[in-house]
Structure 1
Amino acid sequence: MEFTTIGALALYAFVMSITPRLNNMLLANAGLVFGFRNTIPQIVGIPTGVISQILLVAAGLSSLFAQFPSIQLELKVAGTFYLLWLALKLWKADALAQSLNATPISFSQALLFQFINPKSWLIAFTAVSAFLQPEKAVLPQLLIICFVFALIGTPCMPVWSAMGSVLRHHLSSLASLRRANRTLAALASATCIMFWL
């Protein structure tokens, strides 16, 4: 893989990892509710899930999606309902312990969530289709793609968790906490629209 291709891949991984999207909204909320340290399993689980999807797409799952387009629709619907359910819980939460769950999202939950997150599938499909050159050896290229996503994407996750954690220390009243939860709920709901674009 050429250096320019790796540079473009790194930029793609950075933009997809740092910009506001569902995973980052969930990380910000987890930092707010549980503090930064308790979000570390979630921080590691998200990129692990995306890298797993990249490997599956490269292994031929994309042909299955092409053959059965209804699978993609079902993933979008499931992801939308899950996101709206989380947003509703956030909207109604009046205390830190009520937000989302009483326990933080685990590594395995964060990893598995990527499989119903259409945006994560889109990232995996784009990474494989745009940066994997079929005329060259596939395995070394695939390893580079996964390494770049791990190297670039993983450090982007703590940024969102840290923002939530910092906000946690500035929310001294019930009203300010409610406003923060409802803002995050609105942003999470708005992310549903991106599922369908």
Structure 2
Amino acid sequence: MLQTIPALILFLLPLAYSPGPGNMFFAANGARFGFRSTVPANAGYHIATWAVTAAIGLGFIVALDEYPTLFVALKLAGSLYVLWIAWKMFKSGTLQQQETARPASFWDGVVLLLLNPKAYVIIALMFTQFLDQSKSGWLSEVILITTIFTLNNLVAFSLWALAGDRIADYFRAPSSARILNITFSTALAIVAVWMALQ
């Protein structure tokens, strides 16, 4: 397994660092509330990531195969959740008006992962490519793959949140803050539609 770790990381790099529901969510929250405010949601998302990834690696994906409507329901629920986040951001005021908005919580991060069908697809694809269930010791492989996947995502999402925070430094005035809110809410809305159509 150790010799396949570089290949696994190369496989995950474009998936983790390209714009998607998680990255846009954390970039938007970093821009709105600052990098530190994203830590609880990031922790929630990645604790849920580790648990869901391990469950899929241990056979949870079989349930999704047997009940395809479950996947469709997750996809639609995830799209609606991201669209709701986009709407809240669109309606928010300037970056100084913290009383009308709040940073994403630990549980927002958990829900975002659970309702992100892209994550399930990537996880299932990852295990089909990198897990050899024919060998003994595959349980330790599941744990290793799960941990690498989770840590890679954690770094990616943290970088997106940090980028959002840095971008926001240029948008402190009310008019430019409105532009930032509209830009990120539009990006999230596009991601929500994309999720629904996949």
Larger mean Cα displacement after TM superposition, 131-140 or 142-151: 142-151
Matched, 1:176 2:176: yes
Distance 1:150 1:74 in 2: 24
Matched pairs, number: 195
What fraction of aligned residue pairs are identical, expressed as a percent? 27
Contact map agreement 1:29 1:184 (CA 8 A) in 2: yes
Alpha-carbon distance in 1 for matches of 2:158, 2:38: 8
Is it true that 1:92 corresponds to 2:122 in the alignment? no
Query: Match of 1:139?
Result: 139
Task: Return the TM-score normalized by structure 2.
Answer: 0.89
2:76 and 2:60 map into 1 onto residues whose CA distance is 19
**C-alpha distance in structure 1 between counterparts of 2:63 and 2:162, whole Å:** 38
Q: Contact 1:31 / 1:161 at 8 angstroms: preserved in 2?
A: yes
Distance 1:117 1:104 in 2: 20
- CA distance in 1 between counterparts of 2:112 and 2:150 reads 17
Q: Cα offset for 1:97?
A: 6.2
Going from structure 1 to structure 2, the CA distance change for 1:26 and 1:179 (only over 3 Å counts) comes to same
Which position in structure 2 is the counterpart of 1:46? 45
Residue equivalent to 1:192: 192
How far apart are 1:46 and its partner, in Å? Answer: 2.3
Match of 1:133, SS state, is coil
- 2:166 corresponds to: 166
Contact preservation (8 Å) 2:49, 2:150: no
Cα deviation per residue 1:92-134 (whole Å; 9 max; x = unaligned)?
A: 22223668x7322222331232111111111221122221111
Q: How does 1:1-197 map to 2 (within 5 A)?
A: 1-3=1-3, 5-96=4-95, 102-136=101-135, 137-195=137-195, 196-197=197-198
State how far apart, in whole Å, the 2-side matches of 1:182 and 1:52 are.
34
Aligned alpha-carbon RMSD (Å) = 1.9
State which drifts further: 165-174 or 25-34: 165-174
Runs of 4+ in 1 over 3 A off after TM superposition: none
Letter in 1 for 2:12: A
* Paired AA for residue 114 in structure 1: L
SS at match of 1:172: coil
Unaligned runs of at least 5 residues, structure 1: none
Q: Secondary structure at the match of 1:149?
A: helix
